[in-house]
């Protein structure tokens, strides 16, 4: 008998019929003999509708009130799901983040979990019931106020509960069959990855793969929680994220390359004609950091000897573009640059694989593949298990396909059915 | 500086614009120098929509889950209201029933308040903020589970909080201008009552006046909370429910008659040819009580000497008609009656006034008025400050008008504007 934590996102519980379908899955898992704890998000568009209502009240709602408002969404989905499971003859009880013991700091809107004390959940499971827990929410330690965990919050709730309950596995149900070697909407021949290490999954998430949020993977790695990413629209085995040996006891199978991720959400700022003297680059990044912006890749051109000046480029989330540009322009006099170029028509491709550590020539092969496809590389950055390049945005899809093929990631057959969606 | 508890029902916060209108009222009260605690219901049709969703899951949802579901409604309205007030520059914080210290028993769906410990509300008020509290909900003492208070729950929350905070007044905002001498939809010349005693208001509520629920008036009487029933669509003074002397220090003005209430929600059961022997009536009412049904009025005809049998009639809520009929039919053999007649085309008129205790002739005048209007009286019951009669349902409106006129309750002018509704 295993203890399984299952997490269902908003698209899996979008309407009454979806909730009933999910309830059946849960009841089946329970009847098969497992102990089941379920984490659930708000139904489909509920959160957007609530945000819209708040915007009608005031453009800048107080964050404490916003959290109270948004957490109503999970109360609705969790109680409906408990009802649907009960109607199948399986006992189910729903619990708020507070009742489930999800304790957070006091940063409303993007609180971090500081402790999980799931006494009531354990008691419900011990009594033979399915415990349904509201995702995305917690409660502050001292003031007993409701908080939300921000983006990816429900996945994080599920992994945190799995860690606290010492669950055998945390199943993240989504509308795709698992983690793929590339986004199947761009690369129809992308393959589902059966097993992937935490480190590789972290790099995939950080590089734009949207199936799991970075934060949730970090939590899973820290506590060694095996995460099974799978579809709520099929019964296929999905992708297991773990560092554990496989069933034959062999250490994790480690192909050279795990997959190709892409990201369209970044922009590039080029600062033109910066005096090439010590301390100028530091000053620039100080100014940008002061605006609360996180940089990603950075390139400094070779200085032009005749002028003693150089250009510095960096990438950042496009959503931070305005803040960074404003801060830099304000400090133009003391930094002393000539002009500033903002470009949000870039794309980032990342090749990820723990195996590349011990295999030389991966970068060379990557650059050759892009060159053969006629794609220009604008920036490059690397980690031990990742190489990222910036291209023009309109060449990104072609770049992903070329690299995917060059590293022999293509499946023999194109995936017949990849995306779930309603009934698919 | 007074401490005021204000309660706004679902029709007062039906949509974004209504919430903003209510927010303005609250901000004005706060700016006028009062301390304000607000109790709010779910927006307009929210509760019905949530019930409908639950019904799609299962015809008999577990009551614990139903309560979690329904309380989402107040979370939404209370946080939106707090946002709207904040946007007017007045600090506001919202609190769940649990955070407000509303402790109840464990009867989900119709929990009773057993204690109110409003420490956080008092602290919020002391800090200068408006405290917004979710109506209709509480939390169990030992298990920390969410409960709902059932019908009239938000009014009761407001009065209970006012009692615990020792507020100066509890203002119940509704869509009418106050308590009227009769329902103005039936009697256009009905007058708004300026002051009414708890006892009279109790009899009015028990006799079908819908503006305040019986339970809320009972609570207010027990703790001596002055209740001001008024419209959220106007600034008129409404009806003050209190036993306190008026501002000149005189004891409460006590006209003979406070008003005429009516009720269409009852039905009449007549049990035909019951053996007129001791214990038979007791047995009948035992059977009915065993089915969980509360009786209202009871009439036993004079026994027919030749047969030794009699008829017994009683009224009950029409919603309990099926249960009572089934229970009686099941026990027909041991009670020994011939047949059973069920009649839900009756109406009940009640004349209420503390003054009638010391004024003889009130009943005579009532019967004369009905007789003059050609209306037959089928049953009669009385208390110290109330006389109720049952008539045919289709004669009830005419009866209410006749009695209202006979006791000189008609206003000189017909009320120009009585009902609020949206913008009216």
Closest partner residue to B76 (CB to CB) among A50, A58, A78 is: A50
Q: Which residue in A has a C-alpha nearest to residue B131's C-alpha? A: A65
CATH number of the domain residue A14 falls in: 3.40.1160.10
pLDDT of amino acid B255: 72
d(CA A87, CA B372): 58
Tell me how many domains chain A contains: 2
The verdict on B170 and B308 lying in the same domain is no
Min distance A143 CA to chain B CA atoms (Å): 9
Is B361 annotated as belonging to a binding site? no
Among B156, B174, B192, residue at a domain's last position: B174
The whole-number pLDDT of residue A94 equals 97
- Binding site annotation covers B10? yes
Helix pair angle (A396-406, A362-372), 10° resolution: 130
In whole angstroms, what is the distance from residue B170 CA to residue B221 CA? Answer: 12
Assess whether A162 and A256 both reside in one domain. no
- Domain identity same for B65 and B167: yes
Record: contact A62-B94, CB cut-off 8 A = no
Return the residue in A72, A73, A85, A132 with the most chain B beta carbons within 10 A, the one to mutate for interface testing: A72
Of A56, A78, A80, the CB nearest to B54: A80
Pairing assessment for the beta strands A92-95 and A130-134 based on DSSP bridges: parallel
Q: A379 and A252 in one domain? A: yes
pLDDT at position B416, please?
42
Which chain B residues in 33-52 lie under 8 Å from chain A, judged by CB atoms? 50
Task: Establish if B221 belongs to a structural domain.
Answer: no
Do B268 and B162 fall within a single domain? no
Residue A216 burial (C-beta neighbours within 10 Å; 0-12, 13-18, 19+): buried
From A33-37, A296-300, B219-223, B392-396, the region with the lowest mean pLDDT: A296-300
The partner residue sitting opposite B65, judged by closest CB among A53, A69, A82, is A82
For residue A338, with 0-12 CB atoms within 10 Å meaning exposed, 13-18 middle and 19 or more buried, which class applies? exposed
Instruction: Locate the chain A residue with the closest alpha carbon to B59.
Output: A87
User: Are residues B16 and B123 both part of a single domain?
Assistant: yes
Write down the pLDDT at residue B29: 94
The position carrying tokens 């589970």 is B145
Nearest chain B residue to A51 by CA: give it: B80
**Residues of chain B contacting residue A83, judged by C-beta atoms under 8 Å apart:** 54, 57-58, 61-62, 65-66, 69
B346: nearest Cα among B390, B383, B304, B314:
B390
A394 DSSP 8-state letter: G
In a domain, A228, yes or no: no
Q: Which string of b and e fits A384-393 if b means at least 16 CB within 10 Å?
A: ebbbbbbbeb
Rg over CA atoms, chain B: 24
Q: Look at strands A102-104 and A113-116 and give their pairing.
A: antiparallel
CB atoms within 10 A of CB A121: 25
Mean pLDDT, all residues of chain B = 91
Chain A positions in Cβ-Cβ contact with residue B65 (cut-off 8 Å): 79-80, 82-83, 86, 92-94
Please indicate if the annotation marks A329 as binding a ligand. no
In a domain, A225, yes or no: no
Domain endpoint, select from A151, A174, A197: A174
Domain that holds residue B95: 3-174
The Cα B40–Cα B222 span in angstroms is 23
Query: Does the annotation list B64 as a binding residue?
Result: no
CA distance B157 to B155: 5
- Residue A270 lies inside a defined structural domain of this protein: yes
Tell me the per-residue pLDDT of A57-100, one tens digit each, with 9 for 90 and over: 999 999 999 999 999 999 999 999 999 999 999 999 999 999 99
A175 is known to lie in a ligand binding site: yes
pLDDT in tens, B92-125: 999 999 999 999 999 999 999 999 999 999 999 9
**pLDDT of the residue at B417:** 41
> CB distance B65–A79 less than 8 Å?
yes
B324-378 residue pLDDT tens = 999 999 999 999 999 999 999 999 999 999 888 888 789 999 999 999 999 999 9
User: What pLDDT is attached to residue B413?
Assistant: 61
Phi/psi of residue A337, each to 5°?
-85, 165
How far is Cα A297 from Cα A350, in angstroms, rounded to an integer? 12
How near does any CA of chain A get to the CA of B152, in Å? 22
Distant-in-sequence, close-in-space partners of A228: CB < 8 Å, separation ≥ 6: A169, A170, A171, A172, A237, A238, A239, A240, A241
Overall average pLDDT of the B229-257 stretch: 82
Question: What are the tokens at B49?
Answer: 């929509």
On whether residue A316 sits in a domain, the answer given is: yes
Phi, psi of B73 (to 5 degrees): -60, -45
Residues 6 or more apart from A191 whose CB is under 8 A from it? A180, A181, A409, A410, A411, A415
Q: Rounded to an integer, what distance in angstroms lies between the CA atom of residue A217 and that of residue A202?
A: 6
* Confidence band, pLDDT 50/70/90 cuts, at residue B254: low
Cα angle, residue B61 at apex, residues B142 and B7 outer, rounded to 5°: 65
Say if the Cβ atoms of B79 and A58 lie within 8 Å.
no
Three-state secondary-structure class, residue B408:
coil
Is B192 labeled as ligand-binding?
no
Q: Is A39 helix (H, G, I), strand (E, B) or coil?
A: strand
Residues B130 and B256 in one domain: no
- Domain for residue A366, yes or no? yes
Tokens representing A86 are 């009960």
On whether any CB of chain B is under 8 Å from the CB of A62, the answer is yes
Average pLDDT for consecutive 10-residue bins of chain A (424 residues)?
94 94 96 96 93 94 96 97 97 96 94 95 97 97 91 93 97 93 94 94 91 92 96 92 77 77 95 86 89 86 77 92 94 92 95 86 92 93 91 96 94 52 31
SS3 (DSSP) at A81: helix
* CA gap B132, B196 in Å, rounded: 28
Region of residue A41 (left: phi > 0; alpha: psi -120 to 50; beta: else):
beta
Contact A83 B20 (CB under 8 A): no
Q: Which residue of chain B has the CA closest to A91?
A: B62
Distance, in Å, from the CA atom of A329 to the CA atom of B220, rounded to the nearest integer, reads 64
Please say whether the beta carbons of B337 and B273 come within 8 A: yes
Closest partner residue to B93 (CB to CB) among A64, A96, A144 is A64
Mutation for A interface: B38, B42, B46, B72, most A CBs within 10 A? B72
Rounded Cα distance between A404 and A353, Å, is 13
Collapsed DSSP state (helix, strand, coil) of residue B141: coil
Q: What is the pLDDT of residues B171-204, one digit of tens each?
A: 999 988 999 999 999 999 999 999 999 999 999 9
Query: Between chain A and chain B, how many beta carbons pairs sit less than 8 Å apart?
Result: 108
Contact A95, A134 (CB under 8 A): yes
Chain centroid to Cα A87, Å, comes to 34
Q: CA-to-CA distance for A237 and A229, rounded, in angstroms?
A: 9
User: Does the annotation place A259 within a ligand binding site?
Assistant: no
On whether both B167 and B309 belong to a single domain, the answer is no
The CA distance from B112 to B107, in Å, is: 8
- Report the SS3 class of residue A322: helix
- Helix A72-86 with B72-86: angle, nearest 10 deg: 180
| Chain B residue at shortest CA distance from A79 | B65
Interchain contact, B82 vs A93, CB within 8 Å: no
Where do the H-state alpha helices sit in A250-361? 280-290, 321-330, 332-335
Would you say A24 is a known binding-site residue?
A: no
Task: Indicate if B153 and B11 belong to the same structural domain.
Answer: yes
Residue A192 is assigned to a structural domain of this protein: no
pLDDT given at position A421: 34
For residue A413, the model assigns a pLDDT of: 61
Q: What CATH number should be reported for the domain holding residue B413?
A: 3.30.2130.10
User: Is B47 among the annotated ligand-binding positions?
Assistant: yes
Residue A61 Cα distances to A52, A57, A72, B20, B78, angstroms: 11, 8, 16, 13, 13
| Residue B289 in domain | yes
Residue B424 has pLDDT above 50, yes or no: no
Which residue, A144, A174, A204, sits at the end of a domain? A174
Cβ contact, residue pair A76, B50, below 8 Å: yes
Annotated binding residue B392: no
B169 and B254 in a single domain? The answer is: no
d(CA A177, CA A184): 11
B74: confidence class by pLDDT, cuts 50, 70, 90? very high
The answer to whether the CB atoms of B75 and A72 lie below 8 A apart is: yes
Shortest CB distance from B75 goes to which of A56, A71, A87? A71
Task: Say whether B57 and A80 touch across the interface (CB within 8 A).
Answer: yes
Res. B61: pLDDT tops 80: yes
Say if residues A111 and A117 touch (Cβ distance below 8 Å).
no
Chain A residue closest in CA terms to B50: A76
Q: Are B254 and B196 in contact (CB under 8 A)?
A: no
Q: For chain A, positions 65-124, list CB contacts with chain B under 8 A.
A: 65-66, 68-69, 71-73, 75-76, 78-80, 82-84, 86-87, 92-94, 96, 99
Considering only CB atoms, A79 lies closest to which of B68, B78, B82, namely B68
């Amino acid at each position: 008998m295993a203890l399984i934590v299952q997490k269902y996102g908003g698209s899996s519980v979008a309407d009454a019929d979806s909730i009933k379908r999910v309830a059946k899955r849960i009841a089946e898992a329970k009847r098969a003999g497992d102990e089941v704890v379920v984490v659930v998000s708000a139904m489909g568009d509920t959160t957007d509708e609530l945000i819209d209502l708040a915007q009608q009240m005031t453009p800048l709602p107080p964050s404490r009130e916003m959290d109270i408002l948004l957490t109503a969404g999970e109360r609705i989905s969790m109680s409906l799901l408990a009802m649907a499971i009960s109607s199948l003859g399986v006992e189910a009880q729903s619990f708020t983040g507070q009742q489930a013991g999800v304790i957070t700091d006091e940063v409303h809107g993007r609180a971090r979990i500081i402790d999980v004390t799931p006494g009531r959940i354990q008691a419900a499971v011990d009594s033979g019931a399915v415990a349904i827990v509201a995702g995305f929410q917690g409660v502050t330690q001292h003031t007993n106020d409701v908080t939300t965990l921000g983006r990816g919050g429900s996945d994080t709730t599920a992994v945190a509960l799995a860690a606290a309950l010492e669950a055998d596995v945390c199943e993240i149900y989504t509308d795709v069959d698992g983690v793929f070697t590339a986004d199947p909407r761009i690369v129809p021949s992308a393959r589902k990855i059966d097993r992937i290490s935490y480190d590789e999954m972290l790099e995939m998430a950080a590089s734009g793969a949207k199936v799991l949020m970075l934060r949730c993977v970090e939590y899973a790695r820290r506590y060694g929680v095996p995460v099974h990413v799978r579809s709520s629209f099929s019964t296929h085995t999905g992708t297991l994220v773990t560092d554990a040996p496989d069933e034959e006891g062999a250490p994790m199978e480690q192909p050279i390359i795990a997959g190709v991720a892409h990201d369209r959400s970044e922009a590039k700022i080029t600062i033109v004609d910066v005096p090439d003297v010590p301390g100028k680059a530091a000053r620039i990044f100080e100014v940008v950091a002061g605006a609360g912006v996180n940089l990603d890749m950075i390139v400094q051109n070779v200085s032009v000897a005749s002028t003693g000046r150089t250009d510095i480029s960096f990438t950042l989330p496009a959503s931070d573009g305005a803040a960074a540009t404003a801060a830099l322009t304000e400090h133009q006099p003391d930094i002393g640059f000539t002009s500033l170029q903002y470009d949000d028509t870039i794309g980032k491709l990342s090749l990820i694989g723990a195996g590349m550590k011990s295999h030389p020539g991966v970068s060379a092969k990557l650059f050759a593949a892009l060159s053969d496809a006629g794609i220009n590389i604008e920036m490059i950055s690397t980690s031990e298990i990742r190489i990222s390049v910036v291209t023009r945005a309109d060449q990104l899809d072609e770049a992903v396909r070329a690299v995917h093929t060059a590293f022999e990631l293509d499946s023999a057959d194109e995936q017949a059915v990849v995306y779930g969606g309603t009934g698919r």
